[in-house]
Structure 1
């Protein structure tokens, strides 16, 4: 998913297209991304070496952070690429920040991809800076009185989460919602495995993870629509060692994208299951096809064998029938000679009806 990467893929693609263009092109393009983020990129043919990038990002916490970016966040944006990025004043109407990109300062070596990718991370820099300010400054008065109120953070309007700042730790609670029941089952199994792995000795340095089907005690008093879920609540206990030095940026970005990571895991798991089921179905179909082929061959051989037996039987039966017919015909022919039987005619024929016998001696030819 695009939101897991720090660099915006759509913004990176558009900047690469603008940089690689052989001819001067004019661009006036709007981009919308995860988290209600909007980009507006402008480039004119008259000045192709300069592009203007305007960004609109709603604050993570309404009522705590203003719509305008803080000086700390602006300094972080300036540090992305000091030679290439300049903040212009005043900003474009409807946007919180407008950057001037000097494309002629981008190196012509292979490093230009890395530079453009760094420019595309401006969204993650702003969001991370906002969350850091919330963790540093919010609830300082309540904490002194022993009161720790949850802070509702909205990175995606449909997926808010809560942060509770305490003296020795920070608790992050994520209400999980899904539309399909199959997604809930996969996510619940994932959370249970995540708890087992997180509580093992191998991952003692990672923030402990807990999952519960009911809201944790820290969220008592929150709005009902924020606590109505079908996937339960996932909590992380973040201690001071998880926000020291370079770990702070990684921890903040992981918190912002935990919901997106869970949905990515569920989607990948469903795809894996579907591929396995499809492969299993193909194997079963192949076995059935092979069995049917063998049965067809056996049936064909049996039919051929039965056909030969039938032919031989037919030939034998035909010979026997023909023989019987010839015998019957012979008897009929014999009866045809003397159909009238005269008494004593046989003796009369033997005595009087005799053919003369000729001598077998040779005769001489008369001259």
Structure 2
């Protein structure tokens, strides 16, 4: 949607004032005024973080640096952001690359803002894992927001990062279907012999890695999914895929639960 809106503004110079949601937990507001058609204002509202997560000025740690690194001089971060949003950026459309392929690539990256912002802590931790180091101050249990008032957890290490998702669903049918799907998901990965994929486990109770986590964060009516990420899983181009896959894991499961419901 973001990519379409930016493209429409570039091609037609239309005035825009549009709001929409992504994965039901991230909201966007895009504005382009005819008075300043070369500028697009993009605001982003993130899921409400639970107390155990680390946020700085309303954003996950590492997000500001990630935005600057990803978009460079095309984007200016406005402070304070638009009321009701965690982030507001001013995109200078006049600074977009002239080359069509380069412009398309940048638009795709702008459309991936959710991954850039929410995935920033993952990216930081995984970059250190790839070099077999641990980010300063992140050598213990780390909580990251991925749904409103819900966290998933990372245990960073020099040779591996353990990622644990407490899986929660509201509907009783969804709970049953999700529990079944997750068990099948883990078993399928095991029997398929995916030697290059991260090891994956499911448990109805909190794994030992979550020792020290707040008790309210350890309730999961569909169990706990654990991935063990090794340096080989985040080397080079694999890093982007790992960040995207993990930052959207709950949405991936929710999609398959809905499909499973429709087929039952």
The bucket for the TM-score relative to the shorter chain is 0.7 to 0.9
How far has the Cα of 1:246 moved from its partner?
1.6
> Which is strand-richer, 1 or 2?
2
Report the 3-state secondary structure (helix = DSSP H, G, I; strand = E; otherwise coil) of the residue aligned with 2:146: coil
Report the 3-state secondary structure (helix = DSSP H, G, I; strand = E; otherwise coil) of the residue aligned with 1:203: coil
Residue from 57, 67, 74 that aligns with 1:67: 57
**1:278-310 deviation per Cα after TM superposition (whole angstroms, max 9, x unaligned):** xxxxxxxxxxxxxxxxxxxxxxxxxxxxxxxxx
Corresponding residue of 2:67: 77
Report the 3-state secondary structure (helix = DSSP H, G, I; strand = E; otherwise coil) of the residue aligned with 2:147: coil
Shifted more, 52-61 versus 168-177: the winner is 52-61
Where does 1:235-250 land on structure 2 (aligned, <5 Å)? 235-250=226-241
Report the 3-state secondary structure (helix = DSSP H, G, I; strand = E; otherwise coil) of the residue aligned with 2:193: helix
Answer yes or no: is the 8 Å Cα contact 2:43–2:82 preserved in 1.
Answer: no
1:126 aligns with 2:117: yes
Corresponding residue of 1:190: 181
Corresponding residue of 1:350: none
1:47 aligns with 2:53: no
Report the 3-state secondary structure (helix = DSSP H, G, I; strand = E; otherwise coil) of the residue aligned with 1:47: coil
Residue from 204, 212, 215 that aligns with 2:195: 204
Report the 3-state secondary structure (helix = DSSP H, G, I; strand = E; otherwise coil) of the residue aligned with 1:210: strand
Aligned residues: 256
List gaps (5 residues or longer) in structure 2. Answer: none
Instruction: Give the superposed CA RMSD.
Output: 3.6
Answer yes or no: is the 8 Å Cα contact 1:198–1:207 preserved in 2.
Answer: no
Measure, in 2, the Cα distance between the counterparts of 1:28 and 1:142. Answer: 40
Corresponding residue of 1:16: 7
Where does 1:87-106 land on structure 2 (aligned, <5 Å)? 87=76, 92=81, 94=83, 95-103=86-94, 105=96
Distance 1:262 1:36, change over 3 A: closer
Distance 1:182 1:118, change over 3 A: same
How far has the Cα of 1:58 moved from its partner?
6.8
Normalised TM-score (structure 1): 0.58
**1:332-367 deviation per Cα after TM superposition (whole angstroms, max 9, x unaligned):** xxxxxxxxxxxxxxxxxxxxxxxxxxxxxxxxxxxx
How far has the Cα of 1:272 moved from its partner?
2.7
> Which of the pair has the greater relative contact order for Cα pairs under 8 Å at 6+ separation?
2
Normalised TM-score (structure 2): 0.77
How far has the Cα of 1:115 moved from its partner?
4.8
Corresponding residue of 1:308: none
Corresponding residue of 1:27: 16
Where does 1:1-367 land on structure 2 (aligned, <5 Å)? 9=1, 11-21=2-12, 24-34=13-23, 36-57=25-46, 64-67=54-57, 73-74=63-64, 76-78=66-68, 80=70, 85-87=74-76, 92=81, 94=83, 95-103=86-94, 105=96, 115-134=106-125, 136=128, 143=139, 149-200=140-191, 202-273=193-264
Report the 3-state secondary structure (helix = DSSP H, G, I; strand = E; otherwise coil) of the residue aligned with 1:237: strand
Answer yes or no: is the 8 Å Cα contact 1:80–1:118 preserved in 2.
Answer: yes
Distance 1:172 1:16, change over 3 A: same
How far has the Cα of 1:154 moved from its partner?
1.0
How far has the Cα of 1:164 moved from its partner?
1.3
List gaps (5 residues or longer) in structure 1. Answer: 1-8, 144-148, 274-367
Measure, in 2, the Cα distance between the counterparts of 1:184 and 1:71. Answer: 31
Answer yes or no: is the 8 Å Cα contact 1:28–1:43 preserved in 2.
Answer: yes
> Which is helix-richer, 1 or 2?
1
Shifted more, 260-269 versus 93-102: the winner is 93-102
Measure, in 1, the Cα distance between the counterparts of 2:200 and 2:64. Answer: 33
